Structure 1
Amino acid sequence: MTDASRAPPLRILHVFRAPLGGLFRHVLDVARGQAERGHQVGIFCDATTGGTRAAAVFDELAQTLALGITRVPMSRYPSLTDLRAQLAEMALRRRLAPDVVHCHGSKGGVYGRVPALLAPGRRYVTAYTPHGGSFNYKPGSTEHKVYMTVERLLEGATDIFLFESRFIAGRFEAHVGHLPKTDHRIVLNGISEAEFEPIDHGEAGFDLLYLGELRSAKGVDTLIDALALLHRRDGLKPRILIVGSGPDETELKEMASARGIADQCVFEPPGPIRKALAQARVMVIPSRAESLPYVILEAAAAAQPLISTDVGGINEIYGPHHRQRLIKANDPTILAESIRTMLARPEAERLAEAADLAAHVRRHFRLDSMIDGVIAAYRDALATRRAG
């Protein structure tokens, strides 16, 4: 029997805002894995986002998480709603008496760590995973400076920082002014063995796929400009499936129409990633900002041919032997040329390159390693706090 299996189970509360995107995927994977290892786990998050997909996931999880799922209204930007959500979090924490409060994202980091700031002698530990959040939000702006001031204030209420990429650890150091003075470590996002099954493109009806949020940071406007350039300059009209939702959806549809490429673009709401991957031969990620995106991890693991910009921690996923394939962000001309070149390559060559990247991801981004690394960090932080 290992030391980990002899240790008593932990009571763990995950605190975050929106049940959407990669952050939500990360919390679900960690929470499920912790519950499977015998720990008592709960979730506290927003009640106004996530829609039917989040509701279905929570219904499926309800019998698995011993500490339950608590949802209250939260706002993306600072507002009076924050006070009500903060009071709800504090009441839940007192009732559940967790050993660990694991905060995710900027808003979750506030809700979970403000009470800890006021309780230096607490017996529970606070863990914090930024997931990009405010560190990627308009660097240099007044809002960003305010957010970084909050991060400095809450550093002392954080027992352990769990960065999901080296990139975000570097952003913390650059914008806060130093690496965390308390315990900090990098625990890379990981994916399950089932996700390494290669995608069958036998029924693919599209040349290209974009999957993600429809907002400025994701660079979908750059992709539309690149497609318009291919049409105008080279007479090429690759069909693209755009899967996602977000605040810029209407604007992007209007942009595709204005550029004369609306007939090439099909927009669909979010859905299962492997179903989307099977519908297109090449995936394109034109982001301006990322942390360590699950969409890249999942597509790479499934041996999906990829075109991606070199932002955030994406080069950590690609590794030293593949990162030269990444392209500059926010440049339609470069993106158009990458699309033209990729689609002109023989399919066997594209798939061989994709399989090579999948093998790299399999070696470095494993789900079990992520879950075990997070639990080990909790236990180290608990030992330090209780010894103190």
Structure 2
Amino acid sequence: MRQIFTVGRGQFDNIGDAMLRRQLFSWLRESGRLHIFVGNCPDGYEECLGVTSEDVTYRDLGTWYRAAVNEGLAGRASYAFKPGEIQLSLGGMKEHLVVVPLLALLRARNGRVVRVGSGAKSLAPLPRLLMRPSIALSDLTRWRDDETADYLGAPAMPDLAFGEGASTEEIAAGGRRDVLVVSVRDDKGSPPYPSPEALQAVREFAARNELEIWTITQVFQDDRRARRLAEDLGGQVLGWQDRIRHDEHEAALRALYRRAAMVVSDRLHVVIAAFTEGAVPVAGLVQRSTKIARHMSTIGVEDISVDLLGRDTDALTERLQSLLGRREEFFGHLTDARERLDQVRLAILDTLKGANQPADGSGPAAVRPVPATPAAPAPVRASTTPTSARPRPLVHHLGRVGDVAGGMTQVLNGYLDGPFENTDVTVLTTRGNPGDVATGVRRALGAAVRIARLRSTEAVVVAHLSNRGSWLREGALLWWADRRGLPTVAHLHGSSFVPFARRHPKLVRTVLRSADQAITLSEETSEVVRAALPVDRVDLVPNAVPVATATANSENLVVFGGAVGRRKGVDVLLAAWEQLDLAAAGWRLVVAGPVQEPDLVRDLPGVEFPGALAHDALVELLGRSRVAVLPSRGEAMPVFVLEAMAQGNAVVATDVGGVAEVVGPDTGELVPAEDVAALAAALDRVCRDDAHRERLAANGRTAVAERFDTSVVFPALERIWIDALQRRDWRNR
């Protein structure tokens, strides 16, 4: 039996530390017997860790270390770093420094080393240098947030605590949610206390939603503050008085979390623990910290922070109310996070299983090797059928994934969801959220480091490019990949690329000449690209969408999806709507998307502005609506139009970019850009003429299925990626 050595000791007065280790230990047991250093832990701590009778626990570090050395010399030992926060100081990194000789021994004796679920508290150059030896000796590394992954140079994963708690089915089933959980840390130095206005906002929010207020202690040192909060909020307290057993206290906390409609806390694992039991997560901050935001962002949950020092009670109350309304969006991300965690579990099994094979690679079963530092914070969705004995190429897309507005992001999300027969797909995150320049720079630099580690015989780099910042950022990375001898593909997006290329021809040619192949979305873009690359290296491939099964499309809705601004023609759309009396006929116009130009948001009959919707929510809306409209002044190949047609909508759009290649006389209504009268007439026709609308919708769905479904487009993309690999093979000889 494989002997797996790990550390269970942590902050004994912090339930969150035990949650992380318990999840990891349950995975490790699938590969061997655990040897856990627990130190002088209090009663109930081992039970909270989930220690079983099959595990071996150690109170003394020296005894544990000697046992690891002995088993390592015998060729039976592997090592797993404890998950959690790494204090990047000499004291905080002692595990990572002390075990370096042990790791070297284990690796020399066919042992394996895994490090999953850790994150850095601070990002400083010297500690990173000191971490390098233990990172280099790890067979599998996964950090628990994107910033740590960018800083220390390995992929990100969801925090292990997302795997705990109620099942997805139990959360979806609902049940009584009559509690608001609140907690605020009480660290050394006495951090600020919530403002009176913030406390009043919490009380008003709880009263509006008929919620009982409970304050809790998940970290013992917060107990005094929890009791003060309960008194000030007029609520009840679940404290940790007299330090009852860890397992008993966690059970009481989780029972309360299962009743919670929302949790407001500045403790990361209070937020996560309550979230995994069904509470809407809110980062209630009393000091500047990005810890909760960056860990939640790693699973796609964005913009959940509330300033508990704020002075505007009404604004804070409405902020909490708006977050409560995003419940469905949040729990969709929890499901995705758990799927990603299961992939990490399988990667651990794969890695540790390799230690059971003879050192020469022979043995009863072949084990797929897991790279020590694969280059993506997003999960790799592997296909199953290789085409030859050569390793399956791993196609690295430069961009961003997650529930973020933007056509390129949704394209990459689709790649991760879609099956590819002969390649594996992953994403190198190269940017932050819009306006977050610092995060974007860090992620782009992290991507450059990962590109430097790739091998040209097994990796393809695809840069998704548009204009301006995208061209400079992803273009520089494409150039770097080319200089490293890697197969490269430039994938062109965006309505502004063609005018950008005409203004900056030299810059565009320089970047494009770094590509072995180029993919465009329209003939107009292809013409520009052919000025820099030979014709045989330029391919026009449309965006892809999965075609939905027949939907009811039962509501008289006209849906717009995109940024609410003049570039997308929202001003023209509203002017056209004002000319019609469709609201009186029972039709509603939903203008969904992030508001870029607030002056366009007006109170008009039958018009709704729900703001930015999660992608799944927008698709669900299209599944109910009958008409979709996109009156843009400029587009390339709009994913929104394809998704609308795939969901059974009759589409009205402007004749710009590649839209005419999608919307024709039999599949939709095409009108000139900025023509209010033409847009109004087209909307009037499709809304009032049921037979006309249904014919366009049916033809549109058929056209998308034949030309734009993932089953048609993905094989074409894959051929181009493999062509780039073969072309680079020839160039590198």
TM-score (norm 1): 0.76
**For residues 117 and 278 of structure 1, what CA distance do their matches in structure 2 show?**
41
State whether structure 2 residue 448 is matched by structure 1 residue 90: yes
- Residue 515 of structure 2 aligns to which amino acid in structure 1? T
Aligned match of 2:700? 357
Partner SS, residue 42 of structure 1: strand
1:110-161 CA distances to partner (integer Å, 9 max, x unpaired)?
434435546766431111111126415xx3xxx7655443211212211110
Instruction: State how 1:257-276 maps to structure 2 within 5 Å.
Output: 257=603, 262-269=604-611, 270-271=613-614, 272-276=617-621
Aligned match of 2:521? 164
Aligned match of 1:299? 644
Cα distance change, pair 113–212 in 1 and its aligned pair in 2 (3 A): closer
Cα distance change, pair 343–121 in 1 and its aligned pair in 2 (3 A): closer
1:234-265 CA distances to partner (integer Å, 9 max, x unpaired)?
987842111111312x2211xx34xxxx2321
1:218-244 CA distances to partner (integer Å, 9 max, x unpaired)?
101001111122259x98784211111
Aligned match of 1:332? 676
Please state how far the C-alpha of 1:45 moved relative to its aligned partner.
2.9
Please state how far the C-alpha of 1:328 moved relative to its aligned partner.
0.8
State whether structure 2 residue 570 is matched by structure 1 residue 220: yes
**Kindly, what percent of the aligned residue pairs are identical?**
23
**For residues 15 and 119 of structure 1, what CA distance do their matches in structure 2 show?**
11
Partner SS, residue 46 of structure 1: coil
Q: 2:490 aligns with which of 128, 133, 138?
A: 128
User: Is the CA contact 2:430–2:447 (under 8 Å) kept in the aligned structure 1?
Assistant: no
1:14-38 CA distances to partner (integer Å, 9 max, x unpaired)?
1126853221121122244367755
Cα distance change, pair 4–108 in 1 and its aligned pair in 2 (3 A): farther
Q: 1:114 aligns with which of 473, 476, 481?
A: 476
Q: 2:593 aligns with which of 236, 244, 247?
A: 244
- Residue 310 of structure 1 aligns to which amino acid in structure 2? D
Q: 1:316 aligns with which of 661, 673, 696?
A: 661
Aligned match of 2:548? 196
Partner SS, residue 223 of structure 1: helix
User: Is the CA contact 1:304–1:354 (under 8 Å) kept in the aligned structure 2?
Assistant: yes
Aligned match of 1:73? 439
Partner SS, residue 418 of structure 2: helix
- Residue 246 of structure 1 aligns to which amino acid in structure 2? V
Instruction: State how 1:24-63 maps to structure 2 within 5 Å.
Output: 24-33=409-418, 39=424, 41-49=426-434
Cα distance change, pair 337–273 in 1 and its aligned pair in 2 (3 A): same
From the two aligned structures, give the one with the greater helix fraction: 1
User: Is the CA contact 1:227–1:336 (under 8 Å) kept in the aligned structure 2?
Assistant: yes
User: Is the CA contact 1:46–1:72 (under 8 Å) kept in the aligned structure 2?
Assistant: no
**For residues 557 and 419 of structure 2, what CA distance do their matches in structure 1 show?**
39
Partner SS, residue 162 of structure 1: strand
Cα distance change, pair 130–376 in 1 and its aligned pair in 2 (3 A): same
State whether structure 2 residue 464 is matched by structure 1 residue 104: yes
Aligned match of 2:508? 151
- Residue 428 of structure 2 aligns to which amino acid in structure 1? I
1:148-200 CA distances to partner (integer Å, 9 max, x unpaired)?
43211212211110113334323545xxxx262371112222222xx332331
Cα distance change, pair 379–45 in 1 and its aligned pair in 2 (3 A): same
Cα distance change, pair 298–118 in 1 and its aligned pair in 2 (3 A): closer
Please state how far the C-alpha of 1:361 moved relative to its aligned partner.
1.8
- Residue 188 of structure 1 aligns to which amino acid in structure 2? P
Partner SS, residue 726 of structure 2: helix
Q: 1:230 aligns with which of 577, 580, 585?
A: 580
Aligned match of 2:709? 366
Q: 1:8 aligns with which of 372, 382, 391?
A: 391
275-284 or 34-43: bigger deviation: 34-43
User: Is the CA contact 2:411–2:543 (under 8 Å) kept in the aligned structure 1?
Assistant: yes
User: Is the CA contact 1:129–1:162 (under 8 Å) kept in the aligned structure 2?
Assistant: yes
**For residues 134 and 335 of structure 1, what CA distance do their matches in structure 2 show?**
23
Cα distance change, pair 240–160 in 1 and its aligned pair in 2 (3 A): same
- Residue 196 of structure 1 aligns to which amino acid in structure 2? A
Please state how far the C-alpha of 1:266 moved relative to its aligned partner.
0.8
Aligned match of 1:66? none
Please state how far the C-alpha of 1:273 moved relative to its aligned partner.
2.9
**For residues 279 and 324 of structure 1, what CA distance do their matches in structure 2 show?**
18
Partner SS, residue 485 of structure 2: coil
**For residues 394 and 629 of structure 2, what CA distance do their matches in structure 1 show?**
40
1:78-122 CA distances to partner (integer Å, 9 max, x unpaired)?
xxx4xx554332212123446211100234554344355467664
- Residue 317 of structure 1 aligns to which amino acid in structure 2? V
Cα distance change, pair 356–33 in 1 and its aligned pair in 2 (3 A): closer
- Residue 408 of structure 2 aligns to which amino acid in structure 1? L
Partner SS, residue 241 of structure 1: strand
Please state how far the C-alpha of 1:212 moved relative to its aligned partner.
1.6
**For residues 688 and 427 of structure 2, what CA distance do their matches in structure 1 show?**
49
User: Is the CA contact 1:199–1:274 (under 8 Å) kept in the aligned structure 2?
Assistant: no
**For residues 119 and 166 of structure 1, what CA distance do their matches in structure 2 show?**
27
User: Is the CA contact 1:109–1:128 (under 8 Å) kept in the aligned structure 2?
Assistant: no
State whether structure 2 residue 688 is matched by structure 1 residue 341: no
**For residues 112 and 207 of structure 1, what CA distance do their matches in structure 2 show?**
38
288-297 or 323-332: bigger deviation: 323-332
**For residues 239 and 367 of structure 1, what CA distance do their matches in structure 2 show?**
31
**For residues 472 and 514 of structure 2, what CA distance do their matches in structure 1 show?**
10
- Residue 659 of structure 2 aligns to which amino acid in structure 1? I
375-384 or 101-110: bigger deviation: 101-110
User: Is the CA contact 1:290–1:311 (under 8 Å) kept in the aligned structure 2?
Assistant: yes
Query: Structure 2 regions of 5+ residues with no counterpart?
Result: 1-383
Cα distance change, pair 330–155 in 1 and its aligned pair in 2 (3 A): same
Cα distance change, pair 375–279 in 1 and its aligned pair in 2 (3 A): closer
**For residues 120 and 295 of structure 1, what CA distance do their matches in structure 2 show?**
33
- Residue 518 of structure 2 aligns to which amino acid in structure 1? F
- Residue 672 of structure 2 aligns to which amino acid in structure 1? K
1:198-224 CA distances to partner (integer Å, 9 max, x unpaired)?
33133x1x4422122212221010011
**For residues 210 and 45 of structure 1, what CA distance do their matches in structure 2 show?**
29
Instruction: State how 1:368-383 maps to structure 2 within 5 Å.
Output: 368-383=711-726
**For residues 376 and 309 of structure 1, what CA distance do their matches in structure 2 show?**
32
**For residues 694 and 667 of structure 2, what CA distance do their matches in structure 1 show?**
17
Cα distance change, pair 375–109 in 1 and its aligned pair in 2 (3 A): farther
User: Is the CA contact 1:102–1:112 (under 8 Å) kept in the aligned structure 2?
Assistant: no
Cα distance change, pair 145–380 in 1 and its aligned pair in 2 (3 A): closer
38-47 or 234-243: bigger deviation: 234-243
State whether structure 2 residue 728 is matched by structure 1 residue 385: yes
**For residues 274 and 40 of structure 1, what CA distance do their matches in structure 2 show?**
24
Q: How many residues align?
A: 338
User: Is the CA contact 2:655–2:673 (under 8 Å) kept in the aligned structure 1?
Assistant: yes
User: Is the CA contact 1:15–1:44 (under 8 Å) kept in the aligned structure 2?
Assistant: yes
Q: Which has the higher contact order (CA 8 A, sep 6+)?
A: 1
Partner SS, residue 626 of structure 2: strand
**For residues 105 and 331 of structure 1, what CA distance do their matches in structure 2 show?**
30
**For residues 14 and 373 of structure 1, what CA distance do their matches in structure 2 show?**
16
